[in-house]
Amino acid sequence: HDFLTMCKTPELASEVTVQPIDIIKTDAAILFSDILVIPEAMGMKLDVIESKGPVFDSPIRAIGQIESLQIEGLIERLDYVMQAIKMTKEKLNNRVPLIGFSGSPWTLATYMVEGAGSKNHDVIKSFIYNKPEAAHKLLQILADSVVEYLNAKIRAGCDAVQIFDTWASILSPTDFEEFSLKYIRYICENLETNGAPVIVFAKGANDFASLADLKCDSLGIDWTRDIGKIRTEVAGRKALQGNLDPTVLFAPKEKIRLETERVLQSFGNGSGHVFNLGHGILPKTPVENTRYFVECVKELSVKYHAEKMLNAER
């Protein structure tokens, strides 16, 4: 099956979501989907091409195109995602929680305006500098849509939701505040979480003090940052998630174990750490190595919580 068919077929999406729980034994499942289902449901024709990744037929270059995006009925058109959530919840049978996700407005806009992945993102950058009003109009439409989408996912049964800002890394600090963080803040403040934790992952972000002010529960960290330093910066205001380099899973087992230990050591003792990769798992990652990594985390993390466990036993 091609990628989009898998995303749009609830039986297949739920199957792929549950597999890692059975095979790799992770502590949570993340719904198999793609961030670009939102623009696709707004009427933008999307193809996922093997060598190139996602490609939009007619990328947004003018305000007229923004005005003709189909906003009405968006959640109904994304009902296949909600059906996949319901099927997945049945298959998981409460063994582990289910995480749903969305791209951030900035990251979605980047693909919608560039039309595809990009090396230096000159098209979207030129768009925000030359047409800031159009850019903000698009970002606000996306922010409202993400709120609706994540609220629908929580209602359908997701136990937690994550906002991915993959392209935070291409913005200067002032541009990040204006074109990305502002809209992530808006989303966090308008979610009806019903107690579901909210995770924000801004890849390449520098200002964790500002991120720590968001109305969310956890911050994702990519592998280029020292999680221990960020823990100090965030000072217990948020849980932290990360941050093993995904390519470490291509390394020999002893290296995987060593790097896993290094991340745990960097975070240090106590709770508030969700061990995760510092970004998505890469397509050709050996399953055996991934399983071994999860075993390492489960085994090696115990001593960092030992004191807490002893106290609980007392």
User: Over the stretch 227-273, which tens digit does the pLDDT of each residue have?
Assistant: 999 999 999 999 999 999 999 999 999 999 999 999 999 999 999 99
pLDDT for 104: 99
Q: Which of these CATH numbers, 1.20.950.20, 3.20.20.210, 3.30.428.10, 3.40.190.10, describes 3-220?
A: 3.20.20.210
User: Over the stretch 185-241, which tens digit does the pLDDT of each residue have?
Assistant: 999 999 999 999 999 999 999 899 999 999 999 999 999 999 999 999 999 999 999
Q: What backbone torsions phi and psi does residue 189 show, to the nearest 5 degrees?
A: -80, -15
With cut-offs at 50, 70 and 90, classify the pLDDT of residue 312: low
The answer for residues whose C-beta is within 8 angstroms of residue 252's C-beta and 6 or more apart is none
Of 120, 136, 119, the residue nearest 128 (C-alpha)? 136
Q: For the chain, which residues make up each domain, given as ranges?
A: 3-220
With cut-offs at 50, 70 and 90, classify the pLDDT of residue 158: very high
Contact present, 173 and 179 (Cβ < 8 Å): no
Q: Name the average pLDDT for the chain.
A: 96
Helix H or strand E encompassing 165: strand 160-165
Long-range contacts of 69-73 (CB under 8 A, 24+ apart): 69/39, 69/42, 69/43, 69/44, 69/141, 70/41, 70/42, 70/43, 71/42, 71/141, 71/144, 71/145
Interatomic CA distance for residues 16 and 31, integer angstroms: 8
Distance of CA 212 to the CA centre of its chain: 17
Q: Are strands 218-220 and 239-244 parallel, antiparallel or unpaired?
A: parallel
DSSP symbol at 57: S
pLDDT for 21: 95
